[in-house]
Amino acid sequence: MPATFRTTDTSNPHGKLISFKLALISILVVHFFGALGLAYEPLRPYFQMATPLNLLITAVLLFSFHRQWNTSFYKFAFICFSVGFLVEVAGIHTGEIFGEYYYGPTLGFKVWEVPLIIGLNWLILVYCTGIVAQQFSKNLMVKSLAGSTMMVLLDFFIEPVAVSLDFWVWEGGHIPLQNYVGWFITAYFLQIFFHLSKFEKHNFLAKYVIYVQLGFFIFIQSLI
């Protein structure tokens, strides 16, 4: 069994490894064909509208490997989703957090002009980068800094593609530095909350979700 898949749970390790491989393959397939569909202009409108489904599939597969479903985890998930969503609401209505922008129709159902799926995106990113970041240091501030830095780097690659695909639109047509500063500050406090929350922070899929999402946006950017 690969070292990255070791677990203290010795019950049916072969089955767990198969499940992990199937989940990873599913995520890769969904993102690969999603990237091709988004890059091919005649099919783009259909794949744009399927973007929330892509994120939902990723979330279901990711959290199927979460180990400890306790009150602390549910509290973290709810607060992370809510803060991520509400800070976007405040952002688009004030322009003071990330800059002047608004969401297009691509990401689905909106509340207060922000797609609900955005809260789930914040939860996935904080969770995955937090799990990876804890490998860098045991110090709360250092690993929170590492996690928030990873989130900003990922956003750097997401932004140009998201604008091209009408996920959201920046006033003036350029991405302001303020966006990355706002992302970093928000991500940093959510990372602290993640690391302080009392649940087991191991998930075999977490780092692969980051790799796949990064590759997804880089691949699309190279094609459009």
Average pLDDT for 84-96: 94
Give φ, ψ of 110 to 5 degrees: -115, 150
Q: Does residue 1 lie in a domain region?
A: no
Q: Does residue 91 lie in a domain region?
A: yes
The answer to whether residue 100 scores a pLDDT higher than 90 is yes
Q: Does residue 55 lie in a domain region?
A: yes
CB 121 within 8 A of CB 55: yes
Q: Does residue 6 lie in a domain region?
A: no
Q: How many domains does the chain have?
A: 1
Q: Which tens digit of pLDDT belongs to each residue from 194-218?
A: 999 999 999 989 999 999 999 999 9
Q: Please state, in angstroms and as integers, the Cα–Cα distance from residue 156 to each residue in 116, 151, 195, 217, 224, following that order.
A: 22, 9, 24, 10, 17
Q: Among candidates 3, 35, 14, which has minimal Cα distance to 158?
A: 35
Q: Does residue 7 lie in a domain region?
A: no
Give me the domain span that covers residue 198: 12-223
Q: Does residue 115 lie in a domain region?
A: yes
- SS3 for 168? strand
Q: Does residue 88 lie in a domain region?
A: yes
The answer to whether residue 164 scores a pLDDT higher than 70 is yes
Q: Does residue 60 lie in a domain region?
A: yes
Q: What would the two tokens of residue 28 be?
A: 């890769």
Q: Which tens digit of pLDDT belongs to each residue from 175-184?
A: 999 999 999 9
Give φ, ψ of 103 to 5 degrees: -90, 140
CA angle 48, 50, 53 (to 5 degrees): 140
